Amino acid sequence: MTKAAELAKMGEVLTNSQIGGRRNIIINGAMQISQRATSATDQSGAVGYPCLDRFRHTQTTTAGRYTVSQESTTDLEGFGEALKIACTTADTSIAATERFMLVQRIEGFNLQGLEKGFSTAKSVTASFYVKGHDSATYVVGLYDVDNDRFIGQTFSVTTSWARQTVTFAGDTTGKIGNDNTNNLELRFYIHAGSNYTSGTLDTSWATTTNANTAVGINSIFESTSATFFLTGVQLELGSQATPFEHRSFGEELGLCQRYFEYRTGGISSGIANSGSTVQSTLSFHVTKRAAPTTALVGTPIGNDGTQEQNVTGINNNYNIGAQGTLIDLACSLSNTTSPKSPALIYSNPATPSAITLDAEL
């Protein structure tokens, strides 16, 4: 790059406010946070978040199976964790309808700086570090959920870590809602059938045609030796990829907890009712994106001051506090409680147990 070009790039970075302040739109790009589990095995037809926070798996039914894990890295400077996909059952006869993507869903509140749908729409640059078991080609793309529009580009993977950088032009068609719903997705296509690969890859913004979204890719299910590693994922305004924006572990955890919270230790306190329930209030660590659903992990303990009992069920059909900061819970216990006595809900010290709060996109 000539000196003049370097100065022009620097001017663009300054214009787009890429220096100073928060740049990275992606949450958990360094793969530091994995509240649910550090690995999940025998995955097939998975939809959801089996492992690392904010990286959603979207997979149709396929013969291929895989393990996903939060993998410690020692061979990439600046990063200690990565997302790893390892094929455990190959699928060499790919049906037309098959597809496997790693996706980060982004709410509209975090996207207004893109100015999408306006004449001033900004370019955005995705950068990330990848490696694999062999040379391969995959697709990274943006999907505009509100307007059903897509843009994508291929990227290469080798056996060594490499930073890939892809710039997507601003889109003057289709505004993004300023709300807390899923408005834009960053997608990594690592397996797909002909329904998604038979066309011409849309490298400019266009109304979504499935056949044009994953053209030219290899399959993570090509053999049981196949692997895919991903970390350092960043999405930022402008056409210049800046150094990865490292955030503190606590800050990253808080950003993830807007969407999912794993409560362990001393979970909540309340009052035992007649029968076998405890009415308690649970304050969130951070404001949730939306009213969360609750679930039990293992068997937490309820204690009404006279006995410890297993928590056998949970019901969150109660009022959400102002701005989504707390929730009322009714916990069912295994035995009768002492009416109107103070009660605690806490983790079982003998086995892993928790209450989860899920407000994912």
Same domain assignment for residues 209 and 305: no
Instruction: Give me the phi and psi of 240, to 5 degrees please.
Output: -115, 125
**CATH, residue 18:** 2.60.120.260
The answer, yes or no, to whether residue 345 has pLDDT greater than 50, is: yes
Quote the pLDDT of residue 6. Answer: 55
Lowest mean pLDDT among 226-230, 259-263, 332-336: 332-336
Same domain assignment for residues 28 and 99: yes
Q: Is 256 in a helix, a strand, or coil?
A: helix
Same domain assignment for residues 253 and 267: no
Quote the pLDDT of residue 131. Answer: 98
Quote the pLDDT of residue 17. Answer: 47
User: Cα separations (Å) of 279 from 275, 282, 293?
Assistant: 12, 10, 17
Which residue, 190, 192, 183, is CA-closest to 130? 190
Domain range for residue 76? 3-257
Task: Give 274's pLDDT tier (boundaries 50, 70, 90).
Answer: confident
Q: Determine the Cα–Cα distance for residues 16 and 114; give it in Å rounded to an integer.
A: 10
Mean pLDDT value of segment 281-296: 90
Residues 6+ apart with CB under 8 A from 174: 116, 117, 144, 146, 147, 149
Mean pLDDT value of segment 87-96: 96
Average pLDDT along the chain: 92
Last residue of a domain, one of 257, 289, 320: 257
Task: Give 201's pLDDT tier (boundaries 50, 70, 90).
Answer: very high
Same domain assignment for residues 319 and 204: no
Q: Is 151 in a helix, a strand, or coil?
A: strand
Same domain assignment for residues 48 and 95: yes
Q: Determine the Cα–Cα distance for residues 101 and 99; give it in Å rounded to an integer.
A: 7
The answer, yes or no, to whether residue 314 has pLDDT greater than 90, is: no
Task: Give 283's pLDDT tier (boundaries 50, 70, 90).
Answer: confident
Task: Give the pair of three-digit tokens for residue 39.
Answer: 């690995």
Buried-exposed string 4-16: b where 16+ CB fall within 10 A, e elsewhere: eeeeeeeeebeeb
Using one digit for the tens of pLDDT, what is the confidence trace for 205-232? 999 999 999 999 999 999 999 999 999 9
Same domain assignment for residues 161 and 265: no
The answer, yes or no, to whether residue 9 has pLDDT greater than 80, is: no
**Cα Dmax for the chain:** 78
Q: Determine the Cα–Cα distance for residues 40 and 57; give it in Å rounded to an integer.
A: 12
Single pTM value for the model:
0.93
Same domain assignment for residues 185 and 137: yes
Last residue of a domain, one of 216, 235, 257: 257
Same domain assignment for residues 191 and 172: yes
Determine the distance from the C-alpha atom of residue 230 to the mean position of all C-alpha atoms in its chain, rounded to a whole number.
13
Lowest mean pLDDT among 71-85, 112-126, 295-309, 326-340: 326-340
Q: Determine the Cα–Cα distance for residues 12 and 242; give it in Å rounded to an integer.
A: 12
Task: Give 249's pLDDT tier (boundaries 50, 70, 90).
Answer: very high
Domain tally, the chain: 2
Lowest mean pLDDT among 106-115, 156-165, 282-291: 282-291
Same domain assignment for residues 214 and 252: yes
Q: Determine the Cα–Cα distance for residues 300 and 361; give it in Å rounded to an integer.
A: 27
Task: Give 15's pLDDT tier (boundaries 50, 70, 90).
Answer: very low
CA contacts within 13 A on the Cβ side of 235: 25
Same domain assignment for residues 30 and 151: yes
The answer, yes or no, to whether residue 5 has pLDDT greater than 70, is: no
Q: For residues 300 and 343, is the Cβ–Cβ distance under 8 A?
A: no
Quote the pLDDT of residue 339. Answer: 84
Q: For residues 186 and 111, is the Cβ–Cβ distance under 8 A?
A: no
The answer, yes or no, to whether residue 90 has pLDDT greater than 90, is: yes
Using one digit for the tens of pLDDT, what is the confidence trace for 104-128? 999 999 999 999 999 999 999 999 9
